Structure 1
């Protein structure tokens, strides 16, 4: 009796498709990552891609996850240290990743508003945790959300600016200068515990508010709202 060949496991097919899309992206650019081209390269039918990934965005997300995981795995993990030094290290890794994977970075940046890639969301979450450490150390003079948004926007902008210039002509100090400019606008000269200011003290208190004992969830939410309202007033209409 002849036994019909068994189809490859679902996970193997998925991995083959992701590898094919990654190869097309690196060798031929973002425009080459079409459903038809990926299916042909992976040796599958186009409906298989839709069944496993939903749509092209789902496939791009899977590619981003694999490339990002490989990149992170290639970097040595370090114990958290000085929060400013850790932020600088994270900034440099982010810029390096964007310059090393330009087509993927551009592809992730073309997503529809309100539909960010999970890789982007995860990156912002890491940034947010680093900013929270700055706030808890009394080093922020703006609220955490503004600091996170400024750093994220500056990082994205500097990578795109560098990618618009051929590698030999890039300003090697541009990313560092951009980070210094942002930090100059969001950090206090000294920790709030040493020389408190109203705004810096409010930011530090806001970082601690979620962990304050003895408060109900409603009381904690109301306290946080008051703090952020105070920060908005301190910044003024042009803050």
Structure 2
């Protein structure tokens, strides 16, 4: 894949313009987009930037992070606090993401999305109110390992880090997650699976593969 240098500001503008042209695959009234990436790539920052650009263009946007849909500690840590296999398959409440975030945006759905479900700090339900995303609105779901769950995204963006950059930018206390991301690369190949790839090895100088879109 040919990657071209770009600034984060221009990337946000270009991706927002592309999202404005996306039609929901299910014929519904909402677009569902993913910003996929390891925490070290900060996918939430790009999702927030995209939401701001979309709102400037008059389109409602809702940002939801998968960190608000962690499973209870008793389930996440069933096999220890640093088990990469559990992180890969058992940390995030995939059923809740389907039920509370994605399904309400199906054709004929309520449009009422739960922005988060579980607070890992207190290990209790957040009890947040639902947020209504108006027709024509765009959901921006961000987090790691998103592309191997068969979520019904209309556009997927993958923030890619080389193994060396991922290791360098991942805090020491999270290094144990690296085998999970290596497995993700092998089994899902997010660079090939995503609609748009952004190389973020150098946070000051990203590059992307969407210029020929």
Instruction: Give the TM-score taking structure 1 as reference length.
Output: 0.22
- Taking CA–CA contacts closer than 8 Å with sequence separation of 6 or more, which of the two structures ends up with the larger relative contact order? 2
Structure number with higher helix proportion: 1
Determine which structure has more spread, i.e. the larger CA radius of gyration.
Answer: 1
Structure number with higher strand proportion: 2
Instruction: Give the TM-score taking structure 2 as reference length.
Output: 0.24
